[in-house]
Structures are given as structure tokens and as C-alpha cells.
Structure 1
Amino acid sequence: MPYVLKHAGSSELFACRLVNRYELDYFGVKDWADESAAREEKDAFLAGRGVPDAPDWVIAELEEMKLKMCNVKLRNDPSNRVYVGGDGTIRVEKR
């Protein structure tokens, strides 16, 4: 299962500009294939994006289908924010 960054206080998943395997830019949820890679890269990744509250972002496991659904719901729109509740419910809000 993929690993993502989830804000401990709000349950928001970290989304940003990314590049897919076809080298196309898109706005989506940042994920890693394994937990060790996520742990190693988390701090540098957030620092590189100027995130001031980096300790508030925790590594969380997310089912691949939920990750795909989150990206669909973001609609490639940076003004959208995606949240996954404790019960797995996905919701999107405009910034």
C-alpha cells in the first residue's frame, strides 16, 4: 500500500504539483511505495516546499484505490484540498 502525508490535526492529505511517469505535471497527493522511503524523504520533501508545520504531517498508509480516488477528486486543481477521515471518508474543500 502507498504511504502519504496526513496532517495530524485536520486529516488533510499533502497534495502538490507532481510529475507522473509520462513526465506530465499534475496536482495530486504525494505518495511513496514504502514506509522507509517516506520516512527518509519526508523532512527534505516538506522543507523543499516551505512547509512551516512539518512535524504536524505524519506518514499514513492509504489504500491504492483511495489514493487514486483522492487524486480524481482533486481535479488537478491546486485550490482544492483533500481530507480522509478516520472512517475512510474522502472529502474535498476549496481553499
Structure 2
Amino acid sequence: MVRILIKRKLGSKGQIVIPKIVRDFLGIGPEDDVIMEFIKEGVLIRPKEDPSKFVEDFCSINSGRLKEKIDLKKLIEKEVEGRFVLH
């Protein structure tokens, strides 16, 4: 893993600007949510992932155990129907 350090000056309102090259790399833009994680070394900033995208990506990993593709949307709908009665 390559480590890149970027120095930024804190503005008068306590804000920093995330450089365009970093925003592009992370795939974030105006109005996007980011997660700030406080770790021993400092603060880690990462894009907020859509939970359904995470599950979809996770389910798409082929470990050789799945014999067929999982339709996540149908699986969730079936689970919701089993738990709730919709009127």
C-alpha cells in the first residue's frame, strides 16, 4: 500500500478542503456523506457506502460455494413479506 500525505491548513471555521484528486479517487462530490473515523493515528475520512451496495458486492464474491446467483432484492422482499403483513 502506498502512503500519500497531503498537508492542509485549517480554516477560520475549523474546516479543511479535501483536494479534488482525493475526492475523485474516493468518488465523492458535493452533498455526499463521508464517515470520519477517529483512530489512534488521527482521523480517517472515507465515503459513506450504501448498505445495499455493500451487501450486493459481498454477495457477488464467488467463493466457489454458491451454485447460483443470489437475487438480493427478491430475498429482501421475501423476508419483509414473511415478517410484516402489508395492507
**TM-score class, shorter:** under 0.3
The TM-score, its normalising length taken from structure 1, stands at 0.22
Q: Which has the larger radius of gyration?
A: 2
Q: Which has the higher strand share?
A: 1
RCO higher in 1 or 2 (8 Å CA, sep ≥ 6)? Answer: 1
